[in-house]
Amino acid sequence: MKVKLKKAGLVFSLLIIFMFMNNSSILSKNKSGEPLLLAHRGLGQTFSMEGITGDTCTAERIFKPEHPYLENTIPSMEAAFRAGADVVEFDIRPTKDGQFAVFHDWTLDCRTNATGLPADYTMDELKQLDIGYGYTADNGKTHPFRGKGVGLMPSLDEVLTQFPEQEFLIHIKSDDPAEGIQLAQYLFTLPDKRLKTLTVYGGDKPIEILQEQLPELRVMSKATLKRCLLSYEGIGWTGKIPASCKNTQLHIPEKYTSYLWGWPHKFLQRMEEANTRVIIVAGSGNWSEGFDTKADLKRLPDGYTGGIWTNRIDRIGAAY
């Protein structure tokens, strides 16, 4: 019995040593280079996250403006790329005439001088709206962007035409499979070279359709993220990369990074080999929190070369 226990103890000890050696970033060679900077909604106005819910009108609680840009507009994307963004994220909504408008909210009520859904309007009608109408930093005493946002809501086609080579992360805001079908039909018209610069994330149903119809497109949803990370937690300690972790994107809240085998350097190397992009988001990842100050960057691991989610590329881009 004692001999068997000793053998079992030896096997267990060797297994622990293997797991440590195989997943230790301390012993791995750091990849050279800078992190990939992802600008959330381009360069837009930021707001307090305190007490925020899914129904909060964030345009009514912005901080005092430090720049003139409004999210999800071509000028904001131009500013983001100038500031050092490698990728710009933007949101899309279907329109009445079968296009996609670049706009974040479910309804127009919060930010614009209109009401209802973007789908209630044609793209030309949405172009007439003032998307800066609802912004205020002082509880409605002043509206610094009112009258300045007329005509600034772009279509998906306008964005991709304006920036023919830049990389984008496109966000489908719903779980409607019809939006996946519509977006797939649009993306089918683009050359393969252009598709390689795009990633799409959103609801499980539309992303599943995109994954089926455009298998080479990098996509992400809660379902794909869960499949990858659960599988990786099960076998990642061996160094094996699950099939569910290939050709996708992972948005990892910093709160959970310590649970990943090989974090950060070996994990990043493994995902890169699988053609999967890793983006770290701040906090628990509930409300698009970003690394928005230079002080935030101090929380990143030394030599980190993965992606960084930021709402203030104007600040973060200057740090690299």
Per-residue pLDDT of the chain (320 residues; tens, 9 = 90+): 655 555 555 544 444 444 444 566 655 555 568 999 999 999 999 999 888 888 899 999 999 999 999 999 999 999 999 999 999 999 999 999 999 999 999 999 999 999 999 999 999 999 999 999 999 999 999 999 999 999 999 999 999 999 999 999 999 999 999 999 999 999 999 999 999 999 999 999 999 999 999 999 999 999 999 999 999 999 999 999 999 999 999 999 999 999 999 999 999 999 999 999 999 999 888 788 999 999 999 999 999 999 999 999 999 999 99
What's the one-letter identity of residue 252? I
- Within 10 angstroms of residue 54's Cβ, the number of other Cβ atoms is 6
Name the residue among 40, 74, 85, 39 with its Cα closest to residue 58.
40
Distance CA 20, CA 194 (A): 41
- Within 10 angstroms of residue 70's Cβ, the number of other Cβ atoms is 24
What pLDDT is attached to residue 15? 43
Name the residue among 108, 111, 110, 144 with its Cα closest to residue 125.
108
- Within 10 angstroms of residue 124's Cβ, the number of other Cβ atoms is 12
What pLDDT is attached to residue 3? 58
Which residue has tokens 């959970």? 256
Is the CB of residue 316 less than 8 Å from the CB of residue 308? yes
Distance CA 320, CA 253 (A): 21
Distance CA 211, CA 220 (A): 9
Structure tokens at 241: 């990369």
Residue 38, phi-psi category: left (phi > 0), alpha (psi -120 to 50), beta (remainder): beta
Max intra-chain CA distance, the chain: 83
Bridge partners of 302?
Answer: none
What pLDDT is attached to residue 28? 55
Name the residue among 269, 272, 292 with its Cα closest to residue 282.
292
CA distances from 176 to 170, 179, 183, 207 (A): 15, 6, 11, 10
| Torsion angle, alpha carbons of 219, 221, 226, 228, to 10 | 0
Instruction: Write down how long the chain is.
Output: 320
Query: Hey, CA dihedral for 79, 84, 89, 92, is it positive or negative?
Result: positive
What pLDDT is attached to residue 315? 97
What pLDDT is attached to residue 17? 45
What's the one-letter identity of residue 293? T
Distance CA 284, CA 287 (A): 8
Q: How does strand 87-94 pair with strand 100-102? A: antiparallel
CA distances from 79 to 45, 84, 155, 290 (A): 13, 9, 18, 18
Distance CA 276, CA 270 (A): 9
Distance CA 260, CA 257 (A): 6
Distance CA 92, CA 54 (A): 17
Which residue has tokens 């830049």? 166
What pLDDT is attached to residue 192? 95
**3-state DSSP call for residue 242?**
coil
